[in-house]
């Protein structure tokens, strides 16, 4: 698989009038291979949108190199943009134009056949409302229109910033199916989203960014495995005695309100056997496999702490 | 060409452009109706009434002339005509009335054309500025510019295509409005007045006046476009324009002329150059030093000066070039966040 996005050492600072400059990207790296759905994750203000804007030539980087579909950008951006469909943040359209006119104008600007407009309207499920003004659309319908505009070019690379924003559960599922279908037809999809369950379901690989730096990347399974500490949730009638037995046997044990968490255990059978020898019989033994949300919160340092409200960082989103 | 095609459709699909066109046409109609209501062709009845007024005036004048001559022939006589103002005779004071004086005012195209075409140029200038500013300003505020850059990342050609489309659109609109305006004026001349001495030279001069009005509209459209590009919103451009009119044209004129006593203050205002461009030349008379006369009055010297069309074109062109260069540089370099 050849990479479609290669970013190396990207830095970007925003100058602020009368204040110190604000560093949005701090040596960020990213590699996305072709023919897959790639999740691009990060908390608000971590630099996701700045990365996408820089990659698409909307923002000028301070340092670093980037390649899109193998071509160095921003130098050759005009040559590769016809092969890239993108929506960045929530795209807005002229409220008094109809959905069809909005897409028609883009198709004309891109020298595309007008028949493509009907195709993409059908793909995103907007055919019946195409003649209505955009101002009458719901947030989800505007999002569909944005996706339609990105699909117009039949892109090799589709970059979508929060495409599920405003969509109902049915719409989210449709979007997921659409992406799978696009990948099956050879398109690479880069997806920025906060809906981590959705990302875990749909993405083949992820990049996680925090404070302008890459903190994790690779296939989803690898990223999850890297955070797998071999933990098990254990429930027994006598928690205190069970904790003491397991600790004495060399396990790393944390006590919860109604359960124990036993870490660094290679074989769950060892927990069963150790407790059974002391006549302690399990009522539950569950492997605590990390999910993407837990990994994300841990890696980005955004795990909620009781009694403390996280403040939005002073960074560009 | 595809960008130009798309931009051309976008320009005239926009509600703002259509509303502005409708407003200009409505204002044209309002001016035309105002003229039509206040003037009418001279009828036989008008002539009868005027004739009666002239005769009455003549009789009164004959009496006054006789009284004046009597007072002048008798040095001891006292009355309103003795003494007469220096250098005047009774015959000079009481010239026989003419019938024209008592006829209703007539609207004559050749006499009114300059004022009417100035109205056209002024309205087109406002139309150009508003449409130019909104055309690019709305793209910034709606996020449409970001969308467009994702399709056309070469920024300078994109902005040039947008500007070119705008100017072509304003030129076509201006031409259409000029034809409409000429039609309205012809209709007024036909139904409520007359054409006057309409030679080929006069028609050519009027047509050129209209073309200069269209050129002024193009200049203001480019100016509005450039300011909105730098300020990234329509409101920024309109704010600059309104601020300029209030602060520079109104308050600045007061300060320069009345407080700082700067000579020829009009040369600092764009309105002077716009007027000079439309009228080919605009003349001013600036008062200089005043001296007290032996009779106790004041005698002031005046300097007559003017701004020519070429001078106006140079100043407006230079300003436009600077603002456009600024807009293109900012657009090429700025981060679209």
Is residue B307 within 8 Å of B272, Cβ to Cβ? yes
Cα B186 to chain centroid, rounded: 20
Q: Is A281 on the interface with B (CB under 8 A)?
A: no
Residues 136-175 of B with CB under 8 A from A: 138, 142-144, 146-154
For the segment A1-25, the average pLDDT, to the nearest whole number, is 88
Q: What is the 3-state secondary structure (H, E, C) of chain B?
A: CHHHHHHHHHHHHCHHHHHHHHHHHHHHHHHHHHHHHHCCCCCHHHHHHHHHHHHHHHHHHHHHHHHHHHHHHCCCCCECCECCCCCCCHHHHCCCCCHHHHCCCCEEHHHHHHHHHHHHHHHHHHHHHHHHHHHHHHHHHHCHHHHHHHHCCCHHHHHHHHHHHHHHHHHHHHHHHHHHHHHHHHHHHHHHEECCCCCHHHHHHHHHHHHHHHHHHHHHHHHHHHHHHHHCCHHHHHHHHHHHHHHHHHHHHHHHHHHCCCCCHHHHCHHHHHHHHHHCEEEEEEEEEEEECCCCCEEEEEEEEEEEHHHHHHHHHHHHHHHHHHHHHHHHHCCCC
Q: Does A56 touch chain B (CB under 8 A)?
A: yes
Of A56, A91, A104, the CB nearest to B143: A91
* Residue-level pLDDT at A311: 60
Nearest residue on chain A to B142, alpha-carbon basis = A92
**CB neighbour burial string for A143-163, b if at least 16 within 10 angstroms, e if fewer:** bbbbbbbbbbbbbbbbbbbbb
Say if A74 is an interface residue toward chain B (CB within 8 Å).
yes
- The verdict on B6 touching A (C-beta cutoff 8 Å) is yes
Query: Is the model's pLDDT at A284 over the cut of 70?
Result: yes
Give, rounded to a whole angstrom, the gap between the first and last alpha carbons of chain B: 27
A113 near B CB under 8 A: no
Is the alpha carbon torsion for B105, B107, B111, B114 positive or negative? Answer: positive
Cβ distance of B337 and A78 shorter than 8 Å = no
- The answer to whether A146 and A91 have CB atoms below 8 angstroms apart is yes
Residue A94 to residue B142, Cβ atoms within 8 A: yes
Give CA–CA dist B328/A77, Å, rounded. Answer: 19
Please check whether residue B183 touches A, CB under 8 A. no
For A303, which DSSP code? Answer: -
Closest chain A CA to residue B10: A105
> What percent of chain A has a predicted confidence (pLDDT) above 90?
50
pLDDT greater than 50 at residue A317: no
The predicted structure's pLDDT at residue B207: 94
Query: Is A245:A251 a contact under the CB 8 Å cutoff?
Result: no
Q: Which residues have CB under 8 Å from B157's CB, separation 6+?
A: B3
Enter the tokens of residue B289. 């030093």
Beta strand pairing call for A232-235 and A260-263: antiparallel
Instruction: Test A91 with B148 for CB contact under 8 angstroms.
Output: no
pTM: 0.81
**CB within 8 Å: B150 and A94:** no
- CB contacts of B10 in chain A (<8 Å) are 105
Query: For the segment A138-156, what is each residue's pLDDT rounded down to a tens digit?
Result: 888 888 898 899 999 999 9
CA pair distance A299, A127, nearest whole angstrom = 42
Give the closest-approach CA distance of B24 to chain A in angstroms.
21
Identify whether the C-beta of residue A97 lies closer than 8 Å to the C-beta of residue B13: yes
For chain B (337 residues), the mean pLDDT of every run of 10, in chain order, is 86 92 94 88 89 92 87 79 79 84 88 92 95 94 87 94 96 96 92 89 94 96 97 94 91 81 82 92 79 74 86 95 97 89
Provide the pLDDT confidence category of residue A309 given band limits of 50, 70 and 90.
Answer: low
Q: What residues in A contact B5, CB-CB < 8 Å? A: 108-109
Judge whether A65 and A98 are in contact, CB under 8 Å.
no
Q: How confident is the model at residue A16 (pLDDT cuts 50, 70, 90)?
A: confident
Q: Closest CB to A86: pick one of B150, B335, B337.
A: B150
Contacts of A90 in chain B (CB under 8 A): 143
**Paired tokens of A181:** 């279908």
Which of B3, B142, B154 has its CB closest to that of A93?
A: B142
Question: Dihedrals φ, ψ of A23, to 5°?
Answer: -90, 115
- In angstroms, rounded to a whole number, what is the distance separating the alpha carbons of residues B326 and B146? 20
pLDDT digits (tens, 9 = 90+) for A253-269: 998 888 999 988 878 89
Structure tokens at A16: 């602020």
> Could you tell me if A15 lies within 8 Å of chain B, comparing CB atoms?
no
Structure tokens at A103: 């897409």
Cβ–Cβ gap A109/B6 under 8 Å: yes
Q: Does A160 touch chain B (CB under 8 A)?
A: no
- Answer yes or no: is pLDDT of A54 > 70: yes
Six-digit token pair at A44? 């608000």
CB-defined contacts A:B, below 8 A = 79
Q: Which residue of B has its CA nearest to A155?
A: B151
| ipTM exceeding cut-off 0.90 for this assembly | no
Q: How far is it, in rounded angstroms, from Cα A196 to Cα B8?
A: 43
pLDDT at B74: 80
**Spatial CB neighbours of B191, under 8 Å, sequence gap ≥ 6:** B36, B41
Which among A53, A91, A106 has CB closest to B336? A53
Interface contact A81-B142, CB threshold 8 A: no
What is the band of A67 on the pLDDT scale with cuts at 50, 70, 90?
very high
Q: Phi then psi for B74, rounded to 5 degrees? A: -115, 100
Residue with tokens 């209505």, as numbered in its chain: A132
Do the chains contact at B142 and A92, CB–CB below 8 Å?
yes
What is residue B228's predicted lDDT score, i.e. its pLDDT? 97
Return the DSSP state at A132: S
Tell me which chain B residue has its CA closest to the CA of residue A96: B15
Q: How far is A133 from chain B (nearest CA, A)?
A: 12
Tell me the average pLDDT of chain A: 87
Partners of residue B286 on adjacent β-strands = B303
Name every chain B residue with its beta carbon within 8 A of the beta carbon of A78: 152-154
> Which tokens sit at B312?
């106006």
**Which pLDDT score, from 0 to 100, does residue A297 have?**
81
DSSP per-residue string spanning A16-37: ETTEEEEEEEEEEEEEEESSSE
| Interface touch B146/A108, C-beta < 8 Å | no
A93 touches chain B (CB under 8 A): yes
Instruction: Show residues of chain B in contact with A60, CB under 8 Å.
Output: 333, 335
Which residues of chain B lie closer than 8 angstroms to A108, CB-CB?
2, 5-6, 9
Substitution target from B1, B7, B151 for chain A, most A beta carbons within 10 A: B151
Residue A316 has a pLDDT of: 41
Say if CB A264 and CB A230 are below 8 A apart.
Answer: yes
Residue B4's closest chain A neighbor by CA? Answer: A109
- With CA atoms as reference, report the closest residue to B312 among B270, B283, B252: B270
SS3 A181: helix
Interchain pair B337, A53: CB under 8 A: yes
**B7 contacts in chain A (CB < 8 Å):** 109
pLDDT of residue A314: 44
**Helix axis angle, B309-333 relative to B200-231, nearest 10°?**
30
């Amino acid at each position: 698989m050849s990479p479609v996005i290669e970013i190396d050492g990207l830095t970007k600072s925003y100058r602020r009038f009368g204040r110190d400059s604000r560093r949005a990207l701090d040596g960020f790296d990213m590699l996305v291979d072709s023919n897959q759905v790639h999740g691009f994750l990060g908390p608000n203000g971590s630099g996701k949108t700045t990365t996408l804007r820089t990659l698409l030539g909307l923002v000028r980087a301070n340092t670093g190199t980037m390649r899109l579909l193998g071509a160095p950008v921003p130098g050759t951006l005009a040559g590769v943009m016809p092969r890239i469909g993108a929506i960045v943040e929530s795209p807005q359209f002229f409220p008094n134009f109809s959905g069809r006119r909005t897409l028609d104008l883009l198709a004309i600007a891109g020298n595309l056949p007008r028949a493509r407009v009907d195709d993409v309207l059908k793909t995103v499920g907007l055919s019946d409302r195409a003649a209505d003004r955009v101002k009458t659309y719901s947030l989800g319908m505007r999002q569909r229109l944005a996706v339609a505009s990105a699909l117009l070019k039949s892109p090799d690379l589709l970059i979508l910033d929060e495409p599920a924003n405003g969509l109902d559960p049915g719409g989210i599922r449709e979007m997921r199916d659409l992406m799978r279908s696009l990948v099956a037809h050879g398109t690479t999809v880069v997806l920025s989203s906060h809906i981590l369950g959705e990302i875990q379901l749909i993405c083949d690989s992820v990049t996680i960014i925090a404070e302008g730096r890459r903190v994790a990347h690779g296939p989803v399974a690898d990223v999850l495995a890297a955070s797998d500490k071999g933990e098990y949730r254990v429930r027994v009638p006598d928690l205190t005695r069970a904790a003491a037995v397991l600790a004495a046997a060399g396990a790393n044990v944390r006590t919860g309100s109604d359960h124990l968490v036993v870490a660094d255990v290679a074989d769950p059978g060892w927990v069963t056997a150790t407790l059974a020898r002391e006549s302690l019989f399990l009522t539950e033994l569950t492997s605590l496999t990390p999910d993407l949300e837990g990994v994300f919160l841990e890696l980005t340092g955004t795990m909620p702490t009781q009694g403390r409200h996280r403040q939005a960082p002073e960074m560009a989103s | 060409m595809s960008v130009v095609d798309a931009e051309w459709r976008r320009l005239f699909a926009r509600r703002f452009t259509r509303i502005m066109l409708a407003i200009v046409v409505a204002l044209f109609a309002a001016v035309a109706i105002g003229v039509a209501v206040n003037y009418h062709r001279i009828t036989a009845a008008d002539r009868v009434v005027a004739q009666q007024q002239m005769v009455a005036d003549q009789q009164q004048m004959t009496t006054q002339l006789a009284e004046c001559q009597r007072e002048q022939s008798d040095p001891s006589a006292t009355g309103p005509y003795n003494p007469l103002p220096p250098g005047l005779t009774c015959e000079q004071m009481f010239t026989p009335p003419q019938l024209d004086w008592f006829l209703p005012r007539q609207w004559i195209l050749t006499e009114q054309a300059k004022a009417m075409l100035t109205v056209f140029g002024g309205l087109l200038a406002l139309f150009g500025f508003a449409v130019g500013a909104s055309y690019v300003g709305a793209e910034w505020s709606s996020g449409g510019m970001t969308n467009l850059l994702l399709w056309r990342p070469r920024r300078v050609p994109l902005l040039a295509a947008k500007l070119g489309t705008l100017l072509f659109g304003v030129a076509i609109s201006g031409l259409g409005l000029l034809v409409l305006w000429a039609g309205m004026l012809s209709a007024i001349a036909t139904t409520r007045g007359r054409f006057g001495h309409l030679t080929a030279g006069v028609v050519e001069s009027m047509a050129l006046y209209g073309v200069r009005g269209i050129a002024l509209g193009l200049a203001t459209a480019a100016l509005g476009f450039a300011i909105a590009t730098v300020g990234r919103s329509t409101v920024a451009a309109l704010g600059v324009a309104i601020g300029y009119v209030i602060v520079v044209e109104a308050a600045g004129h007061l300060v320069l002329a009345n407080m700082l006593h700067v000579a020829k203050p009009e040369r600092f205002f764009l309105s002077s150059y716009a007027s000079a461009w439309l009228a080919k030349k605009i003349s001013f008379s600036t008062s200089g030093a005043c001296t007290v006369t032996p009779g106790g009055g004041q005698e002031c010297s005046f300097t007559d000066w003017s701004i020519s069309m070429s001078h106006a074109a140079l100043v407006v062109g230079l300003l436009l070039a600077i603002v456009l260069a600024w807009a293109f540089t900012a657009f090429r370099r700025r981060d679209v966040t």
